[in-house]
Structure 1
Amino acid sequence: MAKIIPFKAVRPTRDKVSLVASRSYQTYTKAEREARLDYNPFSFLHIVNPGYKYDKEITGIQRYQLVKNRYQEFKEDDVFVQDDKTCFYIYKIIDRDGQVFNGIVAAASAEDYEKNIIKKHEDTIEYREHIFKNYLKTVGFNAEPVLLTYPDNDKIFSVIEKVQQERAEFEFTTTYKDTHYLWLLDGDSDLETLTKSFNEMPSLYIADGHHRSASSYLLYKDLKQNNPSHNGTEPYNYFMSFLIPESELKIYAFNRHIKDLNGLSKEEFLIQLDAEYRIENRGKTAYQPTTKHHFTMYLDGEFYSLYLRKSNYKFNTSLDALDSQLLYKTILEPILGIEDPRNDLRIHYSNGKGDIINIKNAVDSGEYAVGFGMVAITIDELKQIADDGLKMPPKSTFIEPKLRSGVTIYEF
């Protein structure tokens, strides 16, 4: 029931792909962005940051039009070339830690998103959806795929494994020490096998890219409504996705850092906390939780382990059992006064892939009063939340892999 189709990607030439490929714009520091813009004329950052050419910050529709202009220039200069045949693109990443990700770049159905065949586990912000929809409508392409996950499937694995016996079309290593490989899959038999295998799946799940998929869906509705000749085969009926099996998805938690104790003294805060948790002071010894409903807390130069008093907390839904929701309902909202964790400026999030000492460093800097860490959710928890039609609190998951922008581009 899940529909994915091959497409004719616009791609960098083999000799320039390593120069073109970039991380998401927001992940670079200002100094990193400027260095790449100054010294790499082929970086995809030149397309998404068109004001660099004029040494001016440009926003809104004017920026979108300039993005389109820069993109067309890359095509005119043969930095980008479109494939002649429709393909699925087999994509492999080996990251600096030796983790391997194997997936398929394909076009996923906006109608499947509408029908909840493509399932969501996060809320999106409406104004951001519309901003990105207008961006897509102006530039006419998508260069960063939505990350979707599916149950492990032997037929799909066999096709991927067979294709990877051939020489990769792309093979490049980034300055992050991640190695990327891309193969083109255009054989009719293999295309049919993949298409049929996905069509037999009742659901796909968004792992990363909720705003991108929501914006693509809005674009689909907009263009469909304004096209009297709409027949369902137009490129805008789909959006570019990277589909990866559940077993290869890596999920990490996010840490929470809070700027103050909501007017409470340290002692008052701990006393209120004691009603919900058994608290153990671990002094300077870093505590890394390994079990659900256990948290690490760093406060005033010391680590604490927090163990939920389960007799005081009712698990009525799958969301209630989620640790990010649990932390919000027992500490952040009632004690620290964080009512809107998405927009409250008193809370900051850092991904939990790194060492727990990151929480200590954030608090010791003086910018934050207290920090919390938790174990990562599982893929089964993510799917259950989505199946139940519920939404996780913001920053409940940090998910890998992270693809590079500009390696495959989908035009509509």
Structure 2
Amino acid sequence: MSKIIPFKAVRPTADKVALVTCRTYDDYSSAELAAWLNFNPYSFLHVIHPAYANTQKITIDKRFKGVLHKYQDFKNENILISEEHPVFYLYEIQTKNQTFTGIIAGTSVEDYQNNIIKKHEDTLQFRVELFKDYLHQTGFNTEPVLITYPDSVEINTFISLRKKSEPIYAFATPNKEIHTLWKIDTESEIDWLQQHFEKIPNLYIADGHHRSASAELLYEEDKGLGNPNLKYFMSFLIAESNVKIYEFNRVIHDLNGHSKEDFIKLVAKNFIITDKQRELYQPKSKYEFGMYLDEKFYALEYKFKDKSKSILENLDAQILYDTVLHPILGIGDLRNDERIDYIPGKQSILHMKEKIDDGEFAVGFMLFPSDISEIKLLADNNLIMPPKSTYIEPKFRSGLVVYEL
């Protein structure tokens, strides 16, 4: 039984929403960030990255206090407004290739603790504690956890009918996306959604494992304060058939002392290797991998498929780690080893090719993306994917909806 709640959100005024909302902070290069901050005084980047010119000179505590002060400035200047009553939102993102639609709601920390909200990725404790401190000092969050739920005919019908009503926002962004937001604020609609989500036995975190873990940690530390908002964290709930899962491809700086010829021989112990020359090869199915080395593409087919192995052992990202990255290339810690980097599969394969051709990296591996059934099966069995196994869309715009603690 999954519990969701409406909440009294803070959001931009309709005339400024296109100027306020932004991509997540990590998506911007330093040059982009400086340009947007200089160009657009309404950008939420001013809130989440205050005093950007002096970032290296201030402490974390001062930076968090700066975030809070700038956020309060945006509210005082009526750039951001508060809902009078708790609401849900229906949110749609139209990209060039796909439309994503889901419900913005508060989800329960207790459900997270009781494994009703399931996870498939591990977290780094220092990142969890850092974001917990951020939440504690700023008192708000604007990046919801992306959560999937099993497709429901009833909920899909509700969404389709609700989208025919007048939205509170409909705006375009510089990356040519269309964003539309509807407010769900009638008592009957709120009750209906809560009752239908109560029928769903489990929800699954698709993206935002650190944010949900931070919300739990903050709740455990501050629950004695009696703040009811700490019992929930903001989530974007989307049907599992509506998420888009990309792979993370891997690039490694060197061959760990191996010659090209010896490296290929070692890889051939576990893979059937086909030389694709300069064909921009990408794997077509599970157990297939691509490799780019010395200006050539190779197709790698795993030799030892065994359905009797665990779901984790049969995960493509785990197979690559167990057969190549760890034993041959000497990559032990996938999160922290500086010899490896990751490129979202959403990016063109030419991006990887250029990095290797320029000498920045020695070899690259392309993976076939996991599907939602693999992610759910791992979560149901309390198994954890290797780091950077999935890049999942949609991505939420910062500053669109704010959950205050």
| TM-score of the two chains, using structure 1 as the length reference | 0.96
Contact 1:281 1:302 in 2 (8 A): yes
Q: CA RMSD in A?
A: 1.4
Q: 1:136 maps to what in 2?
A: 135
Q: 2:202 maps to what in 1?
A: 203
Q: What letter matches 1:182 in structure 2?
A: L
> Is 2:313 the counterpart of 1:320?
yes
Q: 2:9 maps to what in 1?
A: 9
> Is 2:117 the counterpart of 1:118?
yes
> Is 2:299 the counterpart of 1:300?
no
Q: 1:375 maps to what in 2?
A: 368
Cα separation, partners in 2 of 1:306 and 1:138, compared to 1, 3 Å: same
> Is 2:249 the counterpart of 1:250?
no
Q: Secondary structure at the match of 1:50?
A: coil
**Deviation sequence 1:293-328 (CA, Å, 0-9, x none):** 1100011111111111116x6852111111001100
Contact 1:156 1:193 in 2 (8 A): no
Which stretches of structure 1, 4 residues or more, deviate above 2 A after TM superposition?
A: 52-59, 313-316, 354-359
Q: State the Cα distance separating 1:152 from its structure 2 match.
A: 0.8
Contact 1:261 1:370 in 2 (8 A): yes
User: In structure 2, which of residues 374, 386, 392 is the aligned counterpart of residue 399 of structure 1?
Assistant: 392
Number of aligned residues? 405
Partner Cα distance (2:327, 2:260) in 1: 16
| Deviates further, 1-10 or 159-168 | 159-168
Partner Cα distance (2:96, 2:241) in 1: 19
Correspondences of 1:216-295 after superposition (within 5 Å) = 216-224=215-223, 226-227=224-225, 230=226, 234-295=228-289
Contact 1:159 1:190 in 2 (8 A): no
Partner Cα distance (2:308, 2:21) in 1: 45
Q: Which runs of 5+ in 1 are unaligned?
A: none
**Deviation sequence 1:258-289 (CA, Å, 0-9, x none):** 11111000111111111111111111112111
Partner Cα distance (1:255, 1:365) in 2: 18
Partner Cα distance (1:411, 1:83) in 2: 11
Q: 1:309 maps to what in 2?
A: 303
Contact 1:315 1:321 in 2 (8 A): no
Q: What letter matches 2:5 in structure 1?
A: I
Cα separation, partners in 2 of 1:129 and 1:121, compared to 1, 3 Å: same
Partner Cα distance (1:344, 1:219) in 2: 29
Q: 1:89 maps to what in 2?
A: 89
**Deviation sequence 1:142-177 (CA, Å, 0-9, x none):** 111110000111221122122211111011110000
| TM-score of the two chains, using structure 2 as the length reference | 0.97
> Is 2:377 the counterpart of 1:384?
yes
Percent identity among equivalent residues?
49
Q: Secondary structure at the match of 1:257?
A: strand
